[in-house]
A and B are shown apart, each in its own frame.
Chain A
Amino acid sequence: MDARRESELSPMKNRTTVERKSERELVVTRTFNGPARIVFEAWTRPELFKQWWVPKSMGMFLRSCEMDVRTGGTYRLVFGHDPSKPDEFFGRYLEVTPHSRLVWTNDEGGEGGSVTTVTFEEKDGKTLLVMRELYPSKEALDAAGTGAADMMSETFEQLDELLVTLGASAGRS
């Protein structure tokens, strides 16, 4: 990528990177133009967290957000407009170290849940944020990816549909 040109076009915008570090681990990085204490605050105060965790483009509605941000505390996010069909995400904070480190479990999926570690590293008034998601197995990470696979690029989605149709008709003949 031509990072320099990108920064000339929008000087304030920092780049988000995602890397699959191993079969079980995803790493997201991003720099924020503010001190660690402020970025940390935005991750740990529910009223601030709610303002950014669900961007409009996701088309999701965050109905409630309970966060007891301390080591051993729990959190619960409830999505969806229909209270009879709530979409819940919950877990426990394994570590809360102000302004530098947050670790929590993702328990909604049962035993295959991942552990998320977020570190905040301040330098020259900016904060480098590194978020690691560690899954118990390759299969668990793949399954999480398959969950997002319906958002695959349209072309290959269409090809997949075609494959299924063709596969079905080949099976019949």
Chain B
Amino acid sequence: MVQYSRARLDASFAALSDPTRRGVLEQLGRSGASITDLAEKFHMTLTGMKKHVGVLEQAGLVATEKVGRVRTCTLGPRRLEEETAWLERYRQLWDSRFDELDKVVEELKRKEKLDGRKKRE
């Protein structure tokens, strides 16, 4: 898991080391765009932009989908990881609540036993 994250980080940082790619991310943060749109906006050839988008896609920062003849780019599946992270955080919250609830349950069980003993006496 640690290793996986580190590899992902390396890919992310490498992807972010280029100003055009950072610009593309910022652009996609506002709205999705086709590779042609992006190439025009950043005054590049289609091939050049395809390469940049490829690097961002590898790092999971951008997702692309081909509809007909147009390849559309959006911000990538890293969002999924964020979701996994918050689900885990949510689980931890309930886990610590339930650890406390265990104690309350033990306490109530103990009391019931005591009361039962008293009644029998």
Contacts and interface: CB of A to CB of B under 8 A. Distances in A.
Interface of A: 12-14, 16-18, 20, 26, 28, 30, 32-34, 38-39, 41-42, 48, 51-53, 55, 57-58, 131, 145-146, 148-149, 151-153, 155-156, 159, 162-163, 166-167, 169-171, 173
Which 7 A-B residue pairings sit nearest by Cβ, starting from the closest?
A52-B100, A16-B95, A18-B91, A34-B105, A52-B101, A55-B96, A170-B22
A56 B89 CA distance: 15
B121 interface: no
Given A12-B102, A170-B19, A155 B97 contact: no
Nearest to B100: A52
Contact of A42 (B89, B93, B105): B105
A99 B89 CA distance: 29
B44 interface: no
Contacts of B108: 34, 38, 41-42, 48
B36 to A, nearest CB: 21
B98 A30 contact: yes
B82 A34 contact: no
Given A30-B98, A32-B102, A51-B104, A149 B82 contact: yes
A162 B16 contact: yes
A167 B106 contact: no
Given A20-B87, A152-B86, A48 B104 contact: yes
Interface of B: 5, 9, 12, 16, 19, 22-23, 25-26, 29, 78, 81-83, 85-91, 93-106, 108-109, 112
Contacts of B102: 12-14, 32-33
Given A39-B105, A52-B103, A148 B91 contact: no
Contacts of B96: 55, 57-58
Contacts of B9: 155, 159
Contacts of B97: 52-53, 55
Nearest to A157: B85
B104 A42 contact: yes
A13 B99 CA distance: 8
A128 to B, nearest CB: 12
A16 B104 contact: no
B26 A171 contact: yes
Contacts of A167: 22, 25-26, 29
- Which of B81, B85, B87, B106 has its CB near the most chain A CB atoms (within 10 A)? B85
Contacts of B88: 18
A14 B88 CA distance: 16
Given A12-B102, A48-B104, A170-B19, A145 B83 contact: yes
16 contacts: A14-B102, A17-B91, A26-B87, A30-B95, A32-B98, A39-B105, A55-B100, A145-B83, A145-B86, A148-B86, A148-B90, A149-B86, A153-B5, A155-B9, A156-B78, A171-B26
